[in-house]
Structure 1
């Protein structure tokens, strides 16, 4: 099986039409069919079921598609590297919102120190979208706040984070050291969007305790949450990393919630078949060291 025949197979698997692949690759449809037939013959498997003129991947085809995407991605990286040996290749990094706001920038800055020619591309999305991009080889590595449970994605916890309740200086919780979880009943909540690790953790625990939630705002970024709480539209549960400046300026108040656990970790994630280039290895090492530094800071505080 050649890289060319593998590329043809992947394209057919993704669009489901040999004629469209032939047109886009400027080859004949018989060439497309022959490439797939040669793979099937070489390994003694059937890659597609043809039903009513439509193509459906078999189990063998699904497995080959997963490997094929990663092999083509590695091949692309190799070509990129050979073409640009004088400078280093890009690294595609995923980050969830809190990570993108508080964590990713210092890690990238340290990466620049080790290799000034690195070309990082950072994508800030929710955890579920980042997982899909990792599986589809659209990202090299990521740091996420939500949980990814997939057998093809490797996870390593690197940073411990603590969630706190925040309110404005006009709210009845202002100046409280803590509040009981039962006091959150029907309080107007400013929440992250569905798919957020922060939201999932709070929702799951309140549902278990049968505490009714009154979600007023659903926000895709932390800045919107902080502003809404500052203006006293409601309360929120958010990473303590995000509120330090607001607390210093006395714009917000933070406290713990008694009766639930609001600790979590930020995890580094990558595909189990990912080939680690020098830059990806550096990013991984820097991220782990960053997590250790954050832990030492918390111990001193």
Structure 2
């Protein structure tokens, strides 16, 4: 074999960081050692994988074609190493989840996954839909759990579970007494919403299609709990996933508002890079997610 796994690691680190120094630091190598490994890798096959602009490295077309294949090969090598060392340990996972899923659903899956494999490491990153998608595209995450919808040629969207958004207010709010809200009620209310780019905001805007320019949006917040506290304080009404509101609705600290003429249903999805190798750990995580749904 004319190349080494270490050379592939250096190539992938350079692809991720677009800089030899940062790539070397991520691999606990010296810059000279990383530069040498990358140079030897390219020279062995008489090819160039990067366009070099100063200290910045950008993958060329050949490099972009090699990237997912190198990721898969290294993932298989790590899986083999883990199997040899731990007799089938499912290994480390890097999971991305949007806010509602990360805060209210992912912890239960993590607990079950790690209970099956003591010592297994799971890294969970919580961000909005756009951020998670970017990191799955860059192979920085093994898979994502999304509330929003995406259409990208390199991403595979797999339906997971149904969800719905709920319009809600504080018990003392004037709208709390209404049996159902009209579109006029929605336009006259003061709103506290998730930020643009989030899956919840995406679903909300689709549901209120035609009304959005008329809505009075007082606040746009990134955190579900902050929105709930603001609504409880009487600052306005909002719309969030039923998953995130179940406890508050049961206690009566928040009140559901019926809007039957608007469709707030949606589907949570798994998102994976189409060329990402599905390790035993990834397959087990998907299975556990389906079990808790």
TM-score by length of 1: 0.81
Q: Distance in 2 between matches of 1:235 and 1:272?
A: 40
The answer as to 2:184 corresponding to 1:182 is yes
> Does the aligned pair in 2 maintain the 1:185–1:211 contact within 8 Å?
no
Specify whether residues 51 and 267 from structure 1 end up closer, same or farther in structure 2 by C-alpha distance, changes over 3 A only.
closer
> Does the aligned pair in 2 maintain the 1:118–1:279 contact within 8 Å?
no
Residue number in structure 2 paired with 1:173: 175
Residue number in structure 1 paired with 2:133: 131
> Does the aligned pair in 1 maintain the 2:194–2:222 contact within 8 Å?
yes
* 1:147-204 Cα distance to aligned partner (Å, 9 max, x none): 1322222221121111111011121210323212332115221111222111112224
The answer as to 2:39 corresponding to 1:33 is yes
Q: Distance in 2 between matches of 1:150 and 1:89?
A: 28
Q: Distance in 1 between matches of 2:233 and 2:223?
A: 16
> Does the aligned pair in 2 maintain the 1:107–1:286 contact within 8 Å?
yes
Residue 278 of structure 2: which of 276, 279, 293 is its match?
276
Matches within 5 A, 1:45-64: 46-49=48-51, 56-64=58-66
The answer as to 2:48 corresponding to 1:24 is no
Residue number in structure 2 paired with 1:243: 245
Q: What's the offset of the Cα at 1:106?
A: 2.6
Specify whether residues 68 and 289 from structure 1 end up closer, same or farther in structure 2 by C-alpha distance, changes over 3 A only.
same
Q: Distance in 1 between matches of 2:49 and 2:92?
A: 33
Q: What's the offset of the Cα at 1:70?
A: 4.1
Specify whether residues 125 and 170 from structure 1 end up closer, same or farther in structure 2 by C-alpha distance, changes over 3 A only.
same
Residue 193 of structure 1: which of 192, 195, 200 is its match?
195
User: How many correspondences in the alignment?
Assistant: 287
Matches within 5 A, 1:250-289: 250-289=252-291
Specify whether residues 210 and 162 from structure 1 end up closer, same or farther in structure 2 by C-alpha distance, changes over 3 A only.
closer
SS in structure 2 of the partner of residue 27 of structure 1: helix
SS in structure 1 of the partner of residue 174 of structure 2: coil
Residue number in structure 1 paired with 2:67: 65
Q: Distance in 2 between matches of 1:21 and 1:108?
A: 29
> Does the aligned pair in 2 maintain the 1:16–1:56 contact within 8 Å?
yes
After TM superposition, the structure 1 stretch with the greater mean CA deviation from structure 2, 155-164 or 207-216, is: 207-216
Q: Which 5+ residue runs of structure 2 have no aligned equivalent?
A: none
Specify whether residues 102 and 11 from structure 1 end up closer, same or farther in structure 2 by C-alpha distance, changes over 3 A only.
closer
Q: Which 5+ residue runs of structure 1 have no aligned equivalent?
A: 292-301
